[in-house]
């Protein structure tokens, strides 16, 4: 595989509305201009800590980071803010982790964050996060849909649908986790 062939194809949207928190992701994984898989699962739930996460980027990298997040949550007694900051610090400074290419959108009942490999832990001002190749399309759609009577899950599903109609690296095979 050529170094300039990149894996694409993730759209993640996280919506917080009416005491419901939902993370939704599409199912498409692409390499170059070829769809490799249409049913990938890019969202996860940590049942024990009531935390949900969606990830964009290399699958192996994202799963590694998800495992690290789970360990940080255990270490910090479920404190999502502390776990997110500690994960971001490790991600930025650890020789192995800093090579990982991914973004994470994570949430519990109170807080939502975007975590990046550059050490960023961003808490959105509004109740919507969008990441990945179609993230901005889903984010825009979700922001408009937040003004309707739709539930958080309906907003997330429709936002992914909108992104799938615009972004060639996104499909409408939606997977959802909610708390």
Is-contact 64 55, C-beta < 8 A? no
In angstroms, the CA 66 to CA 46 distance is 9
Q: How high does pLDDT run on average in the chain?
A: 89
- If one compares 124 and 102, the residue with the highest pLDDT of the two is 124
Question: Catalytic: which of 10, 59, 93, 170?
Answer: 10
For residue 96, what pLDDT is reported? 67
Q: 115: closest CA among 156, 140, 83, 160?
A: 83
Is position 10 annotated as part of the catalytic site? yes
Q: What is the pTM of this model?
A: 0.90
Q: Write down all domains in the chain, each with its CATH number in brackets.
A: 7-171 (3.60.20.10)
Would the CA dihedral through 76, 123, 115, 132 be positive or negative? positive
pLDDT beyond 60 at 8: no
């Amino acid at each position: 595989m050529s170094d300039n062939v990149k894996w694409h194809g993730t759209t993640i949207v996280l919506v917080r509305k009416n005491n419901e928190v939902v993370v939704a992701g599409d199912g498409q994984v692409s390499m170059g201009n070829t769809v490799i898989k249409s049913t990938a699962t890019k969202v996860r739930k940590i049942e024990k800590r009531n935390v949900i996460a969606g990830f964009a980027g290399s699958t192996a990298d994202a799963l590694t980071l998800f495992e690290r997040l789970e360990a940080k949550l255990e270490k910090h007694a479920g404190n999502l803010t502390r776990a997110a900051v500690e994960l971001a610090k490790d991600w930025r400074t650890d020789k192995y982790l800093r090579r990982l290419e991914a973004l994470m959108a994570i949430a519990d009942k109170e807080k939502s964050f975007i975590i990046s490999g550059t050490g960023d832990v961003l808490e959105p001002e509004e109740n919507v996060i969008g990441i990945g190749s179609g993230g901005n399309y889903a984010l825009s759609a979700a922001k408009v849909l937040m003004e309707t009577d739709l539930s958080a899950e309906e907003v997330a599903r429709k936002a992914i649908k909108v992104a799938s109609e615009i972004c060639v690296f996104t499909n409408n095979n939606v997977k959802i986790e909610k708390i």
